[in-house]
Amino acid sequence: MYRIRLHGRGGQGMKTAGRILGTAFFLEGFEVQDAPRYGAERRGAPIFAYVRAARRVINERGIIRRPDLVVVADDTLVPIPAAGVLSGISEPAVLLISSGIKPETWQERLKFPGLVLTLPAAAEGEDRLASRFIGAACTGAAARLVGVISRVSLAQAIRDELAPLGETVVGKNLAKALEAYDLMAPHTGCVREAKERPADTYEKPRWIDLPFEDASLSAPIILAPASSEAVKTGLWRTMRPVIDYQRCKRCAWICSTFCPEGNISLNQEGYPQIDYEHCKGCLICLAQCPAHAIRAEPEREAAAGVEKGGGS
């Protein structure tokens, strides 16, 4: 059975990528499961989708814990523990990352002994969520790496899944997917099907008996108010709003009112300040600022600037 996990950010098309890949396997005669996993988040939040494909009935359920192939549409997700990109990955699994960084560098950084491959990424300075065909490229590359999906089945799967979006969208996705499919030709079939463990080798669950408690004792009680603040949604950001205080007119009722997350407060001098731990990077504040005092910077560059002692 092939077990494939596809990671990306909401808006990068990885849910659709999983569906296309699943359909392509199906067209090759495989039994398939494909499902996305995400919460009630918005664009930019880490999400993943997974695909299982086998020549016989698949009894396994749930998320894939030991993948044979992990595909990452956005390399900024790799170091984020909450994204779970590296969860359960070990040799001989293959790691495919859309990144401008060389595979050897990733291998060294991650101390991963297995095969690491890269796909061309969004250019530096470009909003990663604006690279619209990364999902298609990831699908095409993954199809080639497993080595059992033909160009014909890949193309058919894209047409089947994207037909409602119109011929133009289908054509552009097809072109990107086939380009990535050809790019990965030297690595055709490098992803191996992992052996399935027979059910009788599974470790039996260890039961722990708990005494019955009334709901007033057994249910969780959240005593602290506003606990959602503990979720650092700033991790979802791909572009960072940066305020130019030379231009700012201190009309902060505008930017602070329009921020849908209430992340803009005033400092003692009456200038707006952004809570980057929770700012999700929607850039509504930038669009609304009448003085054009807010600019957008790619998150990775902005974060590196702050680490070097810069800031906004």
Q: Which residues contribute to the site for ligand SF4 (CB under 6 A)?
A: 241, 243, 248-252, 254-255, 259, 261, 263-264, 272, 274, 279-285, 289, 291, 293-294
**Least separation in angstroms between CB 269 and ligand SF4:** 11
| CB atoms near residue 14 (< 10 Å) | 28
Side by side, the strands of the sheet bearing 31-37 are: 31-37, 46-54, 2-9, 69-72, 94-98, 116-119
**Least separation in angstroms between CB 295 and ligand SF4:** 10
Which residue number, 175 or 251, has a Cβ lying nearer to ligand SF4? 251
Which residue number, 44 or 135, has a Cβ lying nearer to ligand SF4? 44
Which residue number, 58 or 303, has a Cβ lying nearer to ligand SF4? 303
Burial per residue of 273-290, b for 16 or more beta-carbon CB atoms within 10 angstroms, e otherwise = ebebebbbbbbbbbeebe
Which residue number, 130 or 291, has a Cβ lying nearer to ligand SF4? 291
Which tokens go with 18? 């999983």
**Least separation in angstroms between CB 256 and ligand SF4:** 7
CA angle 124, 165, 96 (to 5 degrees): 40
The closest of 123, 118, 157, 153 to 138, measured between CA atoms, is 118
The closest of 305, 311, 301, 262 to 127, measured between CA atoms, is 301
**Least separation in angstroms between CB 11 and ligand SF4:** 15
Q: What is the number of residues in the chain? A: 312
Which residue number, 13 or 241, has a Cβ lying nearer to ligand SF4? 241
**Least separation in angstroms between CB 126 and ligand SF4:** 17
